[in-house]
Amino acid sequence: MEPQIDLEKERKEILLAFKGLLRATKNRTRQDTAYIRKAFDVSVEAHKEMRRKSGEPYIYHPIAVARICAEEMGLGATSIACALLHDTVEDTHISLQDIEDLFGAKARRIIDGLTKIPDVFDQNTSIQAENFRKMILTISDDLRVVLIKLADRLHNMRTLSSMKPEQQVKIASETKFLYAPLAHRLGLYSIKTELEDLAMMYTETEIYNDIQSKLKSTKDVRNRFIRRFVHPIREALQKEGYHFEIKARTKSISSIWRKMQSKDLPFEEVFDLFAIRIILDSPIELEKADCWRVYSVVTDFYQPSPDRLRDWVSTPRANGYESLHTTVMSPQGKWVEVQIRTKRMDEVAEKGLAAHYRYKENQKDDSKFDRWIAEIRELLENPDVNAMDFVDEFKMNLFNDEIYVFTPKGDLRVLPVGATILDFAYDIHSAIGDKCIGAKVNNRLVPLSYQLHNGDQLEIITSPKQKPTEEWLRLVGTAKARQRIKSSLNDERKQIAMDGKEILERKFKQFNIRFTSENITVLERFYSMPSATDLYIRIAKGKIDLGKLRELENTGGVLQMERKIQTGKDRHELDVYPKINKKEDIIIIGEDFKNIQYQMARCCHPIPGDKVFGFITISEGIKIHRINCPNAEHLQSKMAYRCVKARWAGESLTERVAAIRLIGIDDVGIVNKITEVISNELNVNMKSIFFEANDGVFEGRIRVLVYDTEHLDTLMRKFEQVEGVKRVERWDNAEE
């Protein structure tokens, strides 16, 4: 029978733990207290049915994590509230939107970042792990995500004994590999040391226990030695009137073991098992001078080793660490490390840049917190490798040219900066890339051209009808994606060319022409095509008039170019000029003009209502251009002899393509509003639509079928009335 749980007793204990958290929160205002209290209430309610592996109520874990943030990292109310809430979105009914409604957008961003960092990581993938470590530091604009995650991991390690042995080893290995170096990188030295020691306790239990018992058995001798060593220094400093304390800090078990391994020493020969730390209470302007005076006192009694002096007071380490280290010889012939620093420096050493920031600003303000984040980021991105003084295996380069994104299941992918949705799709699988039509990024729909950001979570949307286009080559940054798109396009070109070849074979049969490579070469020249493949593709797309085959001389199924030469290059000029009276004649568009073929120019797409003129081309009859066509000036001035007047027939009601360009502010639903205008406008059919957004500005290009300029003007006026649209204009480069 299960033991009866005393819920009332538990409730009181939970409240006591919460009061302990509030006591540990420094400099809090009444608003801070209310904010933290609200987070506590929400968390208690959300986790009320949950228990940890040890059997205790789950809420103890968030309270403990929040307490580490407050007490051991010195973080403020936002972080403490987020630490209390850090598991609610993942494990309970509470959503990110609830968090934002109750605690604001900043808290939502932090919790979102925390939810994206998977809890257990596969130790076998060391390359992935290195990426993961870098990713944690770049995942969020807010570094509090990383700090709360470290606090969460520290509490999990402290309570690891209730887990199964295989879980213990997995979590401990991951801690040693990922989280301890992360704490080190952020200057959280006491947390880094504790994480390393706890990890070693589970991964190398025998060695850990052995070193621990040796430290215990030599403790009394060590303490006696320390008392004797410190005595003259203490007296001299008191005589000089310093306010100070002297601590003896025993080296952590994990760092003793590292020393034993790297120097191949037995425990007994590790000389720096402990360090003496002298902590001064000095005003900031006297810190440097006081540290050096104390150094002078120490070296009056003990001989220093000249090559073991480390001055991080004059030039602090890149991560903010300041201290003066020297190693001196004791009367017993033992080397002893002495660290001299002030109270401020000591707190920076223990709590990292959080303390550094607090001393500098001495105020709790989010904008200043952001400045601190910017400062850390600077250090992370330009690590002064010598000053960072890292153990080699923990060196971590934060590459600026990589971004870290997630699949919907939380798998991490590393892509180059500038990578788009398409790059990500091809990175998963080429078949997904080929069929990709867009994606949801952090649950928001984005186009293929969207550039990825650190920490984005992507869900690719595919369609069986989708296939790569030439345009895609501009939208990708990775070689893999580019290669795959080119290969798909080639496959497609081959398929289209096959279709074109079949069409041509049928046409040859119809005209009694033999299907030979010589005849194809004649056609390439006749239609001015660079290759047979291009010829076939244009035939398949209906861009070549095969009726013109009649113009070629066909001798027993073999084509000749003779007829082409006879009806040569200036055929239209020869045919057309005698028939046209330039002063009198007007082409009435929509009616027959002296049996002469004419068509709309593709450079400006005239539509009824536009002022137009005719231009006699060399080989394609007469082309109708708009008077304000980009080419009109050149044609009218340099080749006026080929221009002829033209106007529209009054009753002409043929639909023609016109292109419109819209520019405005990018906003959700803007495309919807624009397409709505088109669908509500009578007798307007949309032929194509293209929208591109860049830095909050969108550009849209729409091709519509309209009857005349009046029809088009009405439509353009309606576009101008759409909120967000700033400019509407006719767009000339409208290729059919």
Residue pointed to by tokens 């403790």: 219
d(Cα 161, Cα 173) in Å, to the nearest integer? 15
* Under 8 Å between Cβ of 538 and 529: yes
Is 681 a catalytic site residue? Answer: no
Phi and psi (nearest 5°) for 460? -80, 135
DSSP 533: H
DSSP line for 10-46 = HHHHHHHHHHHHHHHSTT--HHHHHHHHHHHHHHHHH
Write out the E strands in 535-618: 553-555, 558-560, 586-589, 598-600, 612-616
* Burial letters 511-540, b for 16+ CB under 10 A, else e: eebeeeeebbebbeebbebeebebbbbbbb
* Under 8 Å between Cβ of 311 and 317: no
Q: How far apart are the first and last CA of the chain?
A: 81
d(Cα 622, Cα 617) in Å, to the nearest integer? 6
Q: Which sign, positive or negative, has the C-alpha torsion 551, 555, 561, 563?
A: negative
d(Cα 289, Cα 278) in Å, to the nearest integer? 15
* Under 8 Å between Cβ of 330 and 233: no
* Under 8 Å between Cβ of 44 and 1: no
* Under 8 Å between Cβ of 256 and 270: yes
Amino acid letter for position 661: R
Choose the catalytic residue: 90, 389, 633, 676. 90
Q: How many helices (H) and strands (E) does the chain have?
A: 30, 22
State how far the alpha carbon of 507 is from the alpha carbons of 72, 516, 534, 571, in Å. 84, 13, 17, 25
Spacing of C-alpha 380 from chain mean position: 17
State how far the alpha carbon of 469 is from the alpha carbons of 1, 475, 693, in Å. 68, 10, 19
Q: Cα angle vertex 121, ends 116, 122, to 5°?
A: 140
d(Cα 590, Cα 522) in Å, to the nearest integer? 36
DSSP line for 689-707 = EEEEEETTEEEEEEEEEES
* Under 8 Å between Cβ of 701 and 637: no
Choose the catalytic residue: 41, 91, 676, 723. 91
* Burial letters 32-61, b for 16+ CB under 10 A, else e: beebbeebbebbbebbeeeebeeebbbbbb
**Rg, C-alpha atoms of the chain:** 39
d(Cα 665, Cα 648) in Å, to the nearest integer? 38
d(Cα 221, Cα 250) in Å, to the nearest integer? 13
Q: Cα angle vertex 99, ends 95, 104, to 5°?
A: 150
Is 91 a catalytic site residue? Answer: yes
Count of C-beta atoms within a 10 Å radius of residue 607: 25
Q: Cite the active site residues.
A: 90-91
